[in-house]
Amino acid sequence: MYERLKTQMDAQAIRSQPLLIPATFAATPEEIATAEANEATLQALGLR
């Protein structure tokens, strides 16, 4: 699984699909700032 994800990341072609029920979690202001600063990377990994 790791090797497949790594290959997809190198090809910039990670496949993702939305969850039927979105997963949510509580985050500190520092965690939110970190996520916002790395938004492009998280989107490339299929996270919104």
Owner of token pair 């997963």 = 23
Letter for the amino acid at 48? R
Residue 13 has pLDDT above 80, yes or no: no
DSSP summary character for residue 13: -
Q: What is the rounded CA–CA span in Å between residue 47 and residue 45?
A: 6
pLDDT of residue 28: 96
What is the rounded distance in angstroms from the CA atom of residue 4 to the CA atom of residue 13?
11
pTM, rounded to two decimals: 0.57
Give the pLDDT mean for 24-30.
93
